[in-house]
Amino acid sequence: DTEVTQTPKHLVMGMTNKKSLKCEQHMGHRAMYWYKQKAKKPPELMFVYSYEKLSINESVPSRFSPECPNSSLLNLHLHALQPEDSALYLCASSQPYMAQYFGPGTRLLVL
Amino acid sequence: SQQGEEDPQALSIQEGENATMNCSYKTSINNLQWYRQNSGRGLVHLILIRSNEREKHSGRLRVTLDTSKKSSSLLITASRAADTASYFCATEPGAQKLVFGQGTRLTINP
């Protein structure tokens, strides 16, 4: 299984809502990532989990809260988002210093 | 901050022609990777070249790396309509931190 799955595919939420994005991989990868991508821009790294521990936080606002329940799962909890947080959120996984496998993304719209 | 700069930003060619994209970066790297992204979807890894390698091939793809000039190129030979996508270079300066270039939007005209 060489697939990274993400749910939901699309999400519309209000600024007062709480929602979660989910990511799953079964490739035995020990690193998992969250990226944010705005239209016609490259992906920007948000968080890195290595061996289920948060190793990189790229100064992401606290309204984004990552969680890694186990080596196969990665969540991104969303609370009190702003309209400018609307974007494609991509999850990826890899072995250290190897190619990253990306999921199809969750397209988020904040109203 | 984005480390990589790609050139050109957009490229439109006829099917069957070759496409070349260039990437420049600023700091030392462990490796450089190329990814493809079809419109608004997930990225697909194409090729990884390590800092001690100069050239790598995968099917119709050829990647070169010049660490002295801090630059890389991706050549796609005999292009097909299905190659239409955005192509990103990404450098890994260290610690699993992948930094993407601005990307090249490639259009293959039938």
Give CA–CA dist A16/B100, Å, rounded.
Answer: 32
Q: Which of B2, B33, B41 comes nearest A99 by C-beta? A: B33
B69: left (phi over 0), alpha (psi -120 to 50) or beta: alpha
Asked if B31 has any chain A CB less than 8 Å from its own CB, the reply is yes
Closest-CA residue of chain A to B94: A97
Would you say B5 and B102 are in contact if contact means Cβ atoms under 8 Å apart?
Answer: yes
Three-state DSSP class for B101? coil
Q: Which residue has the higher pLDDT, B80 or B98?
A: B80
- Pair of tokens at residue A44: 């920007």
Query: Which of these ranges, A58-72, B28-42, B75-89, has the smallest mean pLDDT?
Result: B28-42
pLDDT at A1: 62
pLDDT at B4: 67
Would you say A81 and A15 are in contact if contact means Cβ atoms under 8 Å apart?
Answer: yes
Task: Give the pLDDT mean for B50-79.
Answer: 96
Is a pLDDT exceeding 60 seen at residue A102? yes
Q: Which of B31, B41, B96 comes nearest A105 by C-beta? A: B41
- A43-56 residue pLDDT tens: 999 999 999 999 99
What percent of chain A has pLDDT above 90?
87
Q: Which of B43, B44, B96 comes nearest A31 by C-beta? A: B96
pLDDT at B1: 41
Query: Which of these ranges, A54-63, B32-41, B61-70, B92-101, has the smallest mean pLDDT?
Result: B92-101
Give CA–CA dist A62/A12, Å, rounded.
Answer: 20
Task: Give the pLDDT mean for B101-105.
Answer: 94
Is a pLDDT exceeding 70 seen at residue B5? yes
Is a pLDDT exceeding 70 seen at residue A96? yes
Is a pLDDT exceeding 60 seen at residue B2? no
Would you say A55 and A63 are in contact if contact means Cβ atoms under 8 Å apart?
Answer: no
Q: Which residue has the higher pLDDT, B94 or B10?
A: B10
Task: Give the pLDDT mean for B12-40.
Answer: 93
Closest-CA residue of chain A to B96: A97
Cβ contacts (< 8 Å) between A42 and chain B: which residues? 2, 88, 100-103
- B60–chain A nearest CA distance, Å: 19
Q: Which of B43, B53, B99 to mutate to test the interface with A (most CBs of A within 10 A)?
A: B43
- A7-47 residue pLDDT tens: 999 999 998 899 999 999 999 999 999 999 999 999 999 99
Is a pLDDT exceeding 80 seen at residue B94? no
